[in-house]
Amino acid sequence: MANDTAHDEHYGRVDDPAGAILSALGDPATLTIDDLAPADEFHLGGAAATSAIIDALKVNASDRVLDIGSGLGGPARRIAATTGAHVTGVDLTPSFVAAATALSGRLAMSHNTEFIQGDVTQLDRWGPGVGPFNAATLIHVGMNIPDKKAFFSGVHGLLAPGGRFVVFDIMLTGDPTEIAYPMPFASRLDNSFLESPSSYVDALTGAGFHVNEPVDQTPLARDAAASTRAASPPPVSLATVMGPGFATMFAKVGAALSAGLIAPVQIVATR
């Protein structure tokens, strides 16, 4: 599938993210999902936020989960390892899909995780044969999706009745013109599609979902960041996969969070 150049220049900065991560870790004989987490859980709150999503998903070993915008595959592997469910990840960035596949192979998780390259704004073109899935996740991806209602309708069509869809995105809580770019999810304002929690609820409801009250996960993200700061620095981080400019982008997230312009928000929707 053809790539959006701005998107690939933003996320596809490091040619071989899996190689960079494994080399920085010293390619140990025993490798765990927690060793990879500082580099492959690409969202605020890291592994702790994914664990909260897993609690909300309510899936088990007989279920199939779709992870939309799966990145390096950290959330998909944590969901599979924790619940036994089979997880299919889809992502637009070819180098991320290759890295997710390689890291799952390295962890002997190719049987319960798979990663495919595709544009999730075109879910309606996937056609019959894909799905149904028992649950789906969208973790820090909606900021790159302009027409959320159309996209959520596509997700609705891929879920089995009663299936849960857990959204965990950075959402707009203040004046968008005060936000400084580049951010970790978008290099410029014109490829950023931040929306408020109430806009998400309206789009999900309009797509046919039953929607729970949004939960602001800022406290969870702050606690996770404080734990990371208190521990010795891990050998890998998101800079390993996004390059040296990541620290500057991440500082802009911190500033926008502190100013109340954005917040990491979780919404549980049910088909």
Ligand X SMILES: C[S@@+](CC[C@H](N)C(=O)[O-])C[C@H]1O[C@@H](n2cnc3c(N)ncnc32)[C@H](O)[C@@H]1O
Task: Catalog residues that contact ligand X under the rule CB under 6 A.
Answer: 11, 41-43, 69-71, 74-75, 91-93, 96, 119-121, 139-141, 144, 185
Distances (CA, A) of 204 to 58, 135, 145, 262: 19, 15, 13, 20
Report in angstroms how near the CB of residue 42 gets to ligand X at its nearest: 3
- Report d(CA 106, CA 204) in Å as an integer: 37
Cβ at position 128, least distance to ligand X in Å: 20
Please, what is the minimum distance in Å from the beta carbon of residue 154 to ligand X? 11
- Interatomic CA distance for residues 45 and 119, integer angstroms: 25
The CB density around residue 28, as the number of other CB atoms within 10 Å, is: 9
Nearer to ligand X, 210 or 247 (CB): 247
Which residue, 35 or 41, has its beta carbon nearer to ligand X?
41
Determine the residue with CB nearest ligand X. 71
Tell the smallest beta-carbon distance from residue 75 to ligand X (Å): 5
Q: How far is the CB of 29 from ligand X (least distance, A)?
A: 25
Q: Are 21 and 105 in contact (CB under 8 A)?
A: no
Nearer to ligand X, 119 or 216 (CB): 119
Alpha helices in the chain (DSSP H): 5-11, 17-24, 33-40, 46-57, 74-83, 94-106, 148-158, 197-206, 218-230, 238-242, 246-258
Closer by beta carbon to ligand X, 24 or else 98: 98
Give whichever of 96 and 133 is closer to ligand X, judged by the CB atom.
Answer: 96
Give CA–CA dist 142/185, Å, rounded.
10
Instruction: Say if CB 160 and CB 133 are below 8 A apart.
Output: yes
